[in-house]
Amino acid sequence: MSSYRVAGKGRVDTGKPVDFTFDGKTYQGGVGDTVASALLAHGEHLMGRSFKYHRPRGAVAAGSEEPNALIGTRRGPGRFEPNTRATMQEIWPGLETQSQNKFPSLKFDVGAVNDAAYMMFSAGFYYKTFMWPRSFWDKVYEPFIRQAAGLGVSPTEEDPDHYASRYLHCDVLIVGTGPAGLAAAKVAAQDGLKVVIVDEHSEAGGTLLSEPQAKIDGTPAWDWLSATLAELKATGVKVMTRTTAIGYYHQNFVGLCERVTDHLSALPDDTPRERMWRVRAKRVILAQGALEKPLVFHGNDRPGVMLAGSAQTYLNRFGVLVGKSPAVITSHDSAWFAAFDLADSGAKVQVIADTRAEVDADLIAGAKSRGIPVKLSHTVTATSGRLRVKSVRLNPVDGGSVGAGSNVTCDALLMSGGWTPSLHLFSHTKGSLTWDTDLTTFLPNETPEDCIIAGASRGLWGIEAALKDGVTAGEQTLDALDRAASGTHSYAVENDRAGTGVTHKELLTDKSPGKAKAFVDYQNDVTAKDLRLAVREGMRSIEHVKRYTTNGMATDQGKMSNINGLNIAADALGKPQPKVGLTTFRPPYTPTTFGAFAGYHRGEHFEVTRKTQIDGWARENGAVFEPVGQWSRAWYFPKPGEDMETAVRRECVTTRNSVGIFDASTLGKIEVKGPDAVEFMNRMYTNPWTKLGIGRCRYGLLLGDDGFIRDDGVIGRFGQDLFHVTTTTGGAARVLNMMEDYLQTEWPDLNVWLTSTTENWSTIALNGPNAARLLAPLVEGIDINDEDFQHMSCAEVTVAGMPARLFRLSFTGEIGFEINVPAPMGRQLWEALWAAGQAYDITAYGTETMHVLRAEKGYIIVGQDTDGTVTPQDCGMGWAIGKAKPDFVGKRGLMRPDLVAKGRKHLVGLLTEDDSKLEEGAQIVFDPNQPKPMTMVGHVTSSYQSDAVGQPIALALVAGGHDKMGETVYIPMPDRTIKAKITSTVFLDPENTRLKIAKES
Amino acid sequence: MLLIHCPYCKETLPESEFTYAGQAHIVRPEMPSEQTDAQWEEFLFLRANPKGPHYERWRHFHGCGRFFNAVRDTVSDKFLTTYPANTPKPDLESLIGDAE
C-alpha cells in the first residue's frame, strides 16, 4: 500500500490496483482514484507549474474547482487533452498523464525566473510593458507573448473520437447529488413524473462521500446513500454521474455534458467519448452545494497548502492522508473537523490556528483530547519549502497589530476561509443575488426561471439543513407541477458538522504587503497586491478590476477567487461588497470540449452540402469544385496536364467558337402562380410584367425598399397566371423569404402562391454559336430559330424525350439556352446533350468560365459587382425600371436624396495600360501622386484574363464613372501603380450580333 | 434556446424553427411615392429599441412558413404573447398583468 494510504478508509478499491504514469513515471492507485488522489497517496503534491510565474503548484482542491493541478492526458495517437483537472480525471490502467507549464522539468523550471522578476509581471504589465518602442512589437514582444501565452499544449492531431448529442425532456431536473439534491429527488420521485438527477463526479453523494461519520435517521451516511440511490433508481429516477450541468439557458433549457469513456481503459466500439444532453425541464432544482474559499496569505500556493475540506475528502473518500504532520489555518469551524479526521487516522496535526478569538468550546475540547495545539487570534504570514511546504509562520494578532511570528514545521497546510455557495447556474438564469453580511457572501434571491435553489448553494450549512431544504424544494416543485407530496419527509442527522466562520480579505501580515505573494486567483497568478494596484491605478468597477488583473478569468472561472477578490477590491475601494458587485458567471460551468458542443456536426456533417444531379458526371470527368453557399459547384474541368488558367481559357474559347455546356441547376427557382401573379410581379420587381407575353421571358431586377439591388434573374411567363422566376444561386432562400414577407404581411389581399422549385428542376445551359444547331434536332414542340423561338423566349417542350421548360436566353453573349427538366432526369439530359455535342467539340465549363464569359459582356453578378449599396442606375441598368408603374419595391427608395446625388460610384469597365490583370478588391484613385492616405474612389469588383477581348478585363465601381469614359484611373499596388482606362462594361459584341441564329442554308 | 408559440400551428416549438424578422406594426405606406423624404426615412430606418416589451415579427421558417407578431420582453427574453400578422397590437397593460 502506498505510504499515505490509510487502511480501512475511503471508497477506493486498493485491492484492484491500477497503474498509470505521470511525467513518465509509473504510479499505482486503485479503482475509484483520481490522478490527484493517487499521486497524493504516494506523497506527491507537486503536480504542475503556474501559468505566469511558473511557481511549483499542487492540488489545492479535490473537485472541479481545482485551479492548479492541470494535466495533459493521453490515450494513444490523437487522443490528447490539455488542462484536465487531476482532481477529476479517474485513473485507468495505461493512462498517461503529464504536467504542464514546465521547462525543462517539473522540479527544475527555468521559466521560474518570471517569479523572481515578479515586479515586472504585476497587474496590467502587458498594457504597460509592451507599449513602446513601436518597433519592438513584431520582433520582440509578440513572439514573447505568443510563446508565453496559453495553458498547456494544444493537441495537434485530429480528434479520432466522436461526440453525441441528445435531447431530454423531463418534469424535474435536479443538479447535484448531495443531501439536498437526493432529498429533493426522493420527494419528487412519483409515478408519472420524469425526474433526472445529475452530478459531475464519478459517483453520486456529494458531501456525503466526504462525511461518513454522519448518521441519517440512525443509518450511517454511506448506507443511507446507497439505499437512497437504489430507491430512486427503482422509482424510475434517471441518475446520471460524470455529467456536468454546464449552462442554464432560457426557459429551463439546461446543457449537460456527460463524460462517457474518459474513465475506461478500453474504449467500447461505437461509443461516443462525450454526450451533450440538451434538457428541457418543467422544473429545475439547483443543489450544487458550496465551494471552500482559500485564505489569502504570503506563500498560500506552495504545494501541500490545501483546502481543509478537500483534505477531508481525500481522507474519507479516497483513503489518503495529504500529510502526516499537517498544520491547519482557518477562519471557519469546518477545518477543525477536517483536522480531527486526519488526527483520528494517524496524522500528527501540528497546530490548529484560527483567526478568530473565540471558537466553540466543543472544538477546543476536541483538539485538546487529540493532543492538537490550538492557537486562536492568529494569522499566517509565510510558508517555506521549495517544492513542498515545510513550515508555516504563525503570528498572534492583538487588536489589529501583528506580533512576532514563530515557525511550525509541517508537511501539509490545511486552510479554510469559509464557504461560497455555488451560484453559477443560478446566475446563468439572470437570477438576482443579495449580499449576506453575516456569511460575507452573495446568496440567491429571485430568478425568472421555473427553478428552486436548495441546500448549501443558498448558504445552509450541515447535512440536516441540506436534507430538510431539499425536502422543501421537492415539495415546492411538486406543488408547481400540481402534484401533492406523498407522505412526510423528515430527517434527523447525528454527527452533523454545521459550523460557522468569518471571511477575510488578505490576512494580516507583519511583512511588507508590496512584496507579499498572497494568491487570490491561483490559475492566473493574481495576488492581493495586484488587485490593490488595479484600484490604485484607477479601476473602479469590479469588471475593470477583473480584466486589468485577470482575476477570475482563468478556466476555473473564479470558483475560488471571486469572493476573496471582491473582499479585497471592496476594501481597497472603501465600499461595501454589494456596492462593488460581482462579475458575471457565464457558461460553461467547467471547461467543455469543442467536441461536445459540435456533436455530430463535424467533417462532412458540419454543414449540408447540396449537390446537383450532374455532380456525379462532373466528378467522373475530373471537375474541380468550389463551394457556392451550401452548393458544391463544378469550378472548371481541367484536361490532363491543364492548370486552372489553361482549362478556363480553353473552356472560354471553345464556348465562344463552338458550344459549351454548363450545369445551372443551382439557380434559385420560384414558381409564382395565381390570379394576381402579374400584379405581384409588378410590385416585387422593377420591370413591367403586364405586357410580357406568354412564352416570353425578361431579365428581372429585385430591389429592397431602400432602392438597392438585392437580386436578379430571368423570369419566364408560362401562363396568364404563371411565372417561372429564377434567382441567383446564393439568393434563392432570401428572395423567397422577401417575397413571402411582402405577400403575407403587406399584400395579403393578393391571390398568389409562391413555391420554391429550385430542387424540382435540373437546369442545363448550352451556349455558343453551335448551341442551336446542337439542340434543334432534340427538341419536339417548337422550331429553334429566330422566327419561331426568338431570343428571350420560353416554352414547354420535349427535349431528348424529356418534358422540359426551355428558355432561350444568354448569360454569355452567345446563342444560349437553359433547359429545365424534372430534376431526376438532369444527368440523362446532360449525357444526351454531351453525346450530341461531340460533333461540335463541345466543352463542359464550370463557374469560372461562366464568370469570364458574362464579364466580357458586362453582365453583373449580384453580390460581386454589387454590394448592397448599388442601385440599378449605378450599374447602368436604368432600362430595367418600369417607370410607368405606380409602385414597386424600391421605387420610392430610388428617389432618396443620396441615391440621386452626383458622384455616386458607377459600375464601369477597366482596361489596364500594361495589359496586366488587376486584383479583385484593389482600390482605385484618381491622382497617384497625392499624399497618403489617398482618397480612394472605388474598387475593382471583377477581373479576368480574356482571350475574346485580347487583353485582361475588369469591372469596377468608380465614383462618377459613367461621366469619365476614356479617362485614366490608378490602382496603387504594393510594388507599383497600375494605370487603367475607364470603358464601357460591355467588352465584346456591343450590338449583340452573336445572339442571332443564322438561317441554315 | 427560447420556446416560441406559433399562432398558426398553435404549438410551442424550439426557437431553431423560427427566424426573427424585425420590428412589428411597421406598415408600408399605400402610396410610397407620396411620402416625403422624412416619412420614407422613418419607414425604412427608424426602429424602436425598448428595454422591456417589444413588438416584433417572427417567421415559422422551418414550419408553416408564416410570419406572425410577438411581444417579447427584451430584459427577461420572455414572450408575453404571439399573434397572427395583420391583427391589431394587443393591449400591453393586460399582457403585463397576465405575466404577473
**DSSP letters along A209-263, please?**
GG-TT-EETTEEHHHHHHHHHHHHHHTT-EEE-SEEEEEEETTTEEEEEEE-STT
Residue of A nearest to B99 (CA): A448
Distance of CA A660 to the CA centre of its chain: 45
Burial class of residue A377 in the structure, from the number of CB atoms within 10 Å of its CB (0-12 exposed, 13-18 middle, 19+ buried): middle
CB contact under 8 Å between B86 and A745, yes or no, is yes
Which among A251, A748, A893 has CB closest to B86?
A748
Range of the domain at B50: 3-27+35-99
Q: Are A664 and A763 in contact (CB under 8 A)?
A: yes
The minimum CA-CA distance between A577 and chain B, rounded to whole Å, is 25
Q: Are A211 and A498 in contact (CB under 8 A)?
A: no
Q: Identify the CATH number of the domain defined by range A163-290+421-494.
A: 3.50.50.60
CA dihedral A423, A424, A426, A431 (to 10 degrees): 90
CB contact under 8 Å between A251 and B3, yes or no, is yes
Q: What is the pLDDT of residues A679-719, one digit of tens each?
A: 999 999 999 999 999 999 999 999 999 999 999 999 999 99
Q: Which of A739, A744, A756 is best to mutate for the B interface (most B CBs within 10 A)?
A: A744
Backbone torsion region of residue A825, taken as left when φ is above 0, otherwise alpha when ψ lies between -120 and 50, otherwise beta? alpha
Q: Identify the CATH number of the domain defined by range A902-1001.
A: 2.40.30.110
Asked if the bond preceding B84 is cis, omega within 30° of 0, the reply is: no
CB contact under 8 Å between B77 and A740, yes or no, is no
Q: pLDDT value at position A147?
A: 59
Distance of CA A60 to the CA centre of its chain: 29
DSSP A139: I
Low-confidence ranges of chain A (pLDDT < 50): none
* CATH homologous superfamily, domain A294-417: FAD/NAD(P)-binding domain (3.50.50.60)
The minimum CA-CA distance between A188 and chain B, rounded to whole Å, is 25
The residue type at A312: Q
With beta carbons under 8 A apart, name residues in chain B contacting A886. 31, 33
pTM given for the model? 0.89
Distance of CA A129 to the CA centre of its chain: 31
Q: pLDDT value at position A141?
A: 64
Q: pLDDT value at position A131?
A: 58
Q: pLDDT value at position A126?
A: 59
Which among A740, A891, A897 has CB closest to B32?
A891
How many C-beta atoms surround the C-beta of residue A865 within 10 A?
22
Q: pLDDT value at position A76?
A: 86
Q: Which of B33, B36, B41, B75 is best to mutate for the A interface (most A CBs within 10 A)?
A: B33
Distance of CA A729 to the CA centre of its chain: 29
CB contact under 8 Å between A896 and B40, yes or no, is yes
With beta carbons under 8 A apart, name residues in chain B contacting A740. 59, 65, 67
Domain with B66 in it: what CATH number? 3.30.2270.10
Q: Is the confidence at residue B100, as pLDDT, over 50? A: no
Same fold, A294-417 and A513-575: no
Q: Are B39 and B29 in contact (CB under 8 A)?
A: yes
With beta carbons under 8 A apart, name residues in chain B contacting A253. 1
CB contact under 8 Å between A251 and B1, yes or no, is yes
Question: Which CATH architecture best describes the domain A1-159?
Answer: Roll (3.10)
Q: Is the confidence at residue B98, as pLDDT, over 60? A: no
Chain B residues contacting A via beta carbons under 8 Å = 1-3, 19, 21, 27-28, 31-33, 35, 37, 40-41, 43-44, 57, 59, 61, 65-67, 76-78, 85-86
Round to whole Å and give the CA distance between A753 and A451.
46
Q: Are A206 and A179 in contact (CB under 8 A)?
A: yes
Residue of A nearest to B41 (CA): A896
CB contact under 8 Å between B57 and A891, yes or no, is no
Round to whole Å and give the CA distance between A724 and A726.
7
User: Number of Cβ pairs closer than 8 Å across A and B?
Assistant: 58
Which among B28, B31, B65 has CB closest to A746?
B28
CB contact under 8 Å between A744 and B85, yes or no, is yes
Residue of A nearest to B86 (CA): A745
Q: What is the pLDDT of residues A784-820, one digit of tens each?
A: 999 999 999 999 999 999 999 999 999 999 999 999 9
With beta carbons under 8 A apart, name residues in chain A contacting B28. 705, 742, 746
Residue of A nearest to B15 (CA): A250
Chain A residues contacting B via beta carbons under 8 Å = 249-251, 253, 278, 280, 430, 448, 705-706, 737, 740-742, 744-746, 748, 886-887, 891-893, 895-897
Task: Evaluate whether ipTM surpasses 0.85.
Answer: yes
The minimum CA-CA distance between B69 and chain A, rounded to whole Å, is 10
Residue of B nearest to A249 (CA): B1
Q: pLDDT value at position A52?
A: 81
Question: On the CB side of A439, how many CA atoms lie within 13 Å of its CA?
Answer: 21
Q: Say how many domains are in chain B.
A: 1
Residue of B nearest to A704 (CA): B44
CB contact under 8 Å between B76 and A430, yes or no, is yes
Instruction: Identify which of A243, A235, A237 has the alpha carbon closest to the alpha carbon of residue A166.
Output: A243
Q: Are A361 and A339 in contact (CB under 8 A)?
A: no
DSSP A887: -
CB contact under 8 Å between A249 and B37, yes or no, is no
CB contact under 8 Å between A737 and B86, yes or no, is no
Round to whole Å and give the CA distance between A681 and A742.
11
Backbone torsion region of residue A183, taken as left when φ is above 0, otherwise alpha when ψ lies between -120 and 50, otherwise beta? alpha
With beta carbons under 8 A apart, name residues in chain A contacting B66. 744
β-bridge mates for residue A832, sequence order: none
Instruction: Identify which of A865, A857, A758, A879 has the alpha carbon closest to the alpha carbon of residue A810.
Output: A857
* Domain residue ranges of chain A, discontinuous segments joined by +: 1-159, 163-290+421-494, 294-417, 513-575, 902-1001
CB contact under 8 Å between B37 and A897, yes or no, is yes
Q: Are A194 and A185 in contact (CB under 8 A)?
A: no
Question: On the CB side of A122, how many CA atoms lie within 13 Å of its CA?
Answer: 16
CB contact under 8 Å between A744 and B66, yes or no, is yes
Name the CATH topology of A513-575: Arc Repressor Mutant, subunit A (1.10.10)
Q: Which residue has the cell 465601381?
A: A957
